[in-house]
Chain A
Amino acid sequence: MWKIAVAFVVFAGLALFILSKGGDIDMSGEKHGADATHSAPASEAASAPASSASK
């Protein structure tokens, strides 16, 4: 069990380090509908956000 704990801490630490260096990234999960097919931001004029995450 301790090996898993150490591996998780190392893995998570590395991910956090890369995240802190790598800048902004969308972590809100898979996009569906127009969000998945439109390259422009969805906040044009009067369009509400489509469902963003589903699994």
Chain B
Amino acid sequence: MATVTPRPMSQEEKKVIFASSLGTVFEWYDFYLYGSLAPIIAKQFFTGLDAGSAFIFALLAFAAGFIVRPFGALVFGRLGDMIGRKYTFLVTILIMGLSTFIVGILPNYTTIGVAAPVILIALRLLQGLALGGEYGGAATYVAEHAPQGKRGAYTSWIQTTATLGLFLSLMVILGTRTMIGEAAFADWGWRVPFIVSILLLAVSVYIRLSMNESPAFTKMKAEGKTSKAPLSESFGQWKNLKIVILALIGLTAGQAVVWYSGQFYALFFLTQSLKVDGATANIMIAVSLVIGTPFFVIFGALSDKIGRKPIIMAGCLLAVVTYFPVFTALTKAANPDLAAAQAANKVTVTADPKECSFQFNPTGTAKFTSSCDVAKQALANASVSYDNAVSAPGTPATIAVGSTMIPSYSVKGLSADDAKTKAAEFKKALDDALKAAGYPAKADMAKFDKVTVIAILTYLVILVTMVYGPIAAMLVELFPTRIRYTSMSLPYHIGNGWFGGLLPTTAFAIVAQTGNMYNGLWYPVIIAGMTFVIGMLFVKETKDVDIYAND
């Protein structure tokens, strides 16, 4: 074990952290832009497409997030291990930044026709590729500059950029929208957040150009010891592949679901399940992020003292044990009328089980049209807990709210107009029955307990900081310098992209299938539980690892 000599952070180290974090701020800024502006971008670029083309573009948009990023981790991880960290993550930020900027000046569908969505999707794919290499580069670069015993504290700063990126995007989008008005923003103002990102890019590139290569990589290169084939060394040899797999299922999978649950699912749950208005829910989440964000650094620094593993595993365990009671408490604090209605009124869906699908729809392109699926989706959207009963084969599904029976309908074979009429009739009948049974259409803000809601959300964010604060240091320390960039990037992106990214759609499918709005939590609970067990049994503590020992 190397000896640790406590000393303050040097100017050079501060610059390293700042330069690396700017790139990840960029990532997050883009991440939120493409969320907040999605309806406008869709309208500008995709509205003229026929159904077949729209389907293909939807699949490509899905690929940009879920398939291209892990591929980018391989491409840029390999480059980073062969030619160096500095130039690789200079390239990734240039690709990311220029792609964002070009979206801001790209003519829309009305101007250049189908070329517009084609170029947009190509830019998204390119951006996804670069993004796959960005985080691994930032984490590796910072960790290789950090002194032994300080890697947790130094790399944890990178994680705080998630909050900074969100706030930056909010300020630019809302600032522009407020200044020029809603109509002008939808027409041309949406381009401003993309265009101003060029400033962030210029600063990032300028600083990154002035940085030195990581000392560990420079030494290795000088000695001619860099890997000639990082991919086969990382994934073709069981000794390392085993650690990559453990890093995925024993660390990043659990980290991802805890993170998604704490920020994105909590927001979804507040607005969609508890019917809290969007603006209030946003403020609640933002306040909890402000309170929780310093804990990234606190847990990162603490991991240098007590170890990464105990903190990450404690975060996963607390998620497993407390998610159900905590989300139940959130319902009581945010929408007590809903909690009371769920407890008092029994709702039953009677359907032929053969008609009922597991409504898992990650690309958003599937349509669930049977009477059972229509009924269950309506109830899941209304946050109604229900029991399932079996009807005779071939009979349409019905919903019983107390003594009121509402027949569901199948969309199959209906014309668009008939489907619309049927949907409106069904919705009205269901809404009336639910209203009579005490289900609120919206959360009553007079009964909304702000302090408790913020306390609960802050607790969820603190769990996020426990699993996410020390993760970069731990991933870096699991792998040797010659294949570090490649080996750590892939489990990070598969863990966060697949296990985390599929959380909303999986949780919804479970809720619709089972009839209990809390059952979506089984997904993060099971994944975090798996990570806890595998991590505890097979992942070794790394805080005292000398990351240069095998160089």
Complex Cα–Cα for A8 and B515 (A)? 42
Most buried by A among B28, B62, B69: B62
Q: Decide: B500 and A30 in contact? CB cutoff 8 A.
A: no
Complex Cα–Cα for A12 and B163 (A)? 9
Q: Which of A27, A34, A45, A47 contacts B35 (CB 8 A)?
A: A27
Judge whether B38 is part of the interface by a CB distance below 8 angstroms: yes
Given that A32-B61, A38-B54 are contacting pairs, would A51 and B290 also be in contact in the complex, using a CB cutoff of 8 Å? no
Q: Which of B170, B359, B373, B503 contacts A18 (CB 8 A)?
A: B170
Interface size on B, residues (CB 8 A): 87
Q: Decide: B282 and A27 in contact? CB cutoff 8 A.
A: yes
Q: Decide: A19 and B170 in contact? CB cutoff 8 A.
A: yes
Chain B residue with Cβ nearest A35: B364
Complex Cα–Cα for A53 and B3 (A)? 42
Complex Cα–Cα for A25 and B182 (A)? 12
Complex Cα–Cα for A8 and B163 (A)? 10
Q: Decide: B364 and A47 in contact? CB cutoff 8 A.
A: yes
Judge whether A46 is part of the interface by a CB distance below 8 angstroms: yes
Instruction: Report the interface size class on chain A.
Output: 35 or more
For window 8-26 of A, CB contacts with B under 8 Å fall at: 8, 11-12, 14-16, 18-26
Q: Decide: B364 and A42 in contact? CB cutoff 8 A.
A: yes
B 44-63 to A, binary, CB cutoff 8 A, 1 in contact else 0: 01110100001001110110
Judge whether B362 is part of the interface by a CB distance below 8 angstroms: yes
Q: Decide: A51 and B54 in contact? CB cutoff 8 A.
A: no
Given that A25-B282, A31-B34, A39-B47 are contacting pairs, would A45 and B367 also be in contact in the complex, using a CB cutoff of 8 Å? yes
Q: Decide: B38 and A31 in contact? CB cutoff 8 A.
A: yes
Q: What distance in Å separates the Cβ of A27 from its nearest Cβ neighbour in chain B?
A: 5
Q: Decide: A39 and B42 in contact? CB cutoff 8 A.
A: yes
Q: Decide: B36 and A32 in contact? CB cutoff 8 A.
A: no
Given that A27-B267, A48-B508 are contacting pairs, would A34 and B58 also be in contact in the complex, using a CB cutoff of 8 Å? yes
Contacts of A15 in B (CB 8 A): 167-168, 170-171, 286
B 404-448 to A, binary, CB cutoff 8 A, 1 in contact else 0: 000000010000000100010000000000000000000000000
Q: Decide: B34 and A48 in contact? CB cutoff 8 A.
A: no
Complex Cα–Cα for A23 and B173 (A)? 11
Q: Decide: B61 and A33 in contact? CB cutoff 8 A.
A: yes
Q: Decide: A36 and B38 in contact? CB cutoff 8 A.
A: yes
Contacts of B163 in A (CB 8 A): 12
Judge whether B361 is part of the interface by a CB distance below 8 angstroms: yes
Complex Cα–Cα for A37 and B528 (A)? 32
Judge whether B509 is part of the interface by a CB distance below 8 angstroms: yes
Q: Decide: B368 and A46 in contact? CB cutoff 8 A.
A: yes
Judge whether B178 is part of the interface by a CB distance below 8 angstroms: yes
Q: What distance in Å separates the Cβ of B364 from its nearest Cβ neighbour in chain A?
A: 3
Complex Cα–Cα for A37 and B360 (A)? 19
Given that A32-B62, A47-B361, A54-B496 are contacting pairs, would A21 and B178 also be in contact in the complex, using a CB cutoff of 8 Å? yes
Contacts of A20 in B (CB 8 A): 283
Q: Which of B32, B361, B377 contacts A27 (CB 8 A)?
A: B32
Complex Cα–Cα for A23 and B377 (A)? 28
Most buried by A among B362, B368, B512: B362
Contacts of B262 in A (CB 8 A): none
For window 158-180 of B, CB contacts with A under 8 Å fall at: 163-164, 166-168, 170-171, 173-175, 177-178
Chain A interface (Cβ < 8 Å from any Cβ of B): 5, 8, 11-12, 14-16, 18-39, 42-43, 45-55
Q: A22-B175, A38-B54, A54-B69 are in contact. List 17 more A-B contacts (CB 8 A).
A: A5-B294, A15-B286, A19-B170, A24-B278, A26-B35, A26-B36, A27-B286, A28-B268, A31-B34, A32-B62, A32-B66, A37-B49, A39-B39, A45-B369, A48-B366, A51-B362, A55-B31
